[in-house]
């Protein structure tokens, strides 16, 4: 998938959209680098990182799902997404290379 709406991105990273259009499960990968994570959660999810963390813990403790995979930085996010076909994450634009594909939001 090369394009997602802003709402689709939000739904994916809030665990509300769990399958791609081909019905394969989405593997969600959170880049926990403070600066990158803060920027992504505030811009794309309209939540501060602490609120997102509480949100996911509520899902976990209520039995509604598992926490997303957490990686420490752009390189780890690219490495995981580059080797797992149905995974999605976020990185800085400078880190984008041939290892992963950019998904545009509209």
pTM of the model: 0.91
Q: Where in 5-103 does DSSP place strands (E)?
A: 27-31, 69-71, 87-88
Radius of gyration of the chain (CA): 13
**Comparison of pLDDT for 87 and 105, the residue scoring more:** 87
Indicate the average pLDDT of the chain. Answer: 95
Q: Where in 14-85 does DSSP place strands (E)?
A: 27-31, 69-71
Over residues 33-47, the mean pLDDT reads 96
From the list 105, 101, 86, the residue with the least C-alpha distance to 19 is: 86
Has residue 12 got a pLDDT over 70? yes
The per-residue pLDDT for range 51-73, each reduced to its tens digit, is: 999 999 999 999 988 899 999 99
State the pLDDT at residue 106.
83
Question: Residue 56: is it exposed, middle or buried by C-beta count within 10 angstroms (0-12/13-18/19+)?
Answer: buried
> How far is 55 from 63, CA to CA, in rounded Å?
13
The domain locations on the chain are 3-105
Class of domain 3-105: alpha beta
State the pLDDT at residue 65.
86
């Amino acid at each position: 998938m090369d394009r997602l709406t802003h709402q689709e991105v939000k739904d994916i990273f809030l665990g509300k959209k769990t399958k791609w259009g081909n019905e394969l499960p989405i593997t969600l990968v959170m880049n926990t680098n403070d600066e990158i994570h803060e920027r992504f959660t505030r811009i794309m999810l309209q939540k501060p990182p602490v609120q997102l963390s509480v949100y996911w813990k509520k899902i976990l403790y209520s039995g509604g799902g598992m926490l997303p995979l957490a990686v420490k930085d752009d390189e780890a996010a690219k490495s995981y997404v580059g080797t797992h076909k149905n995974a999605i994450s976020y990185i800085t634009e400078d880190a984008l290379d041939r290892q992963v594909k950019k998904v545009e939001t509209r």
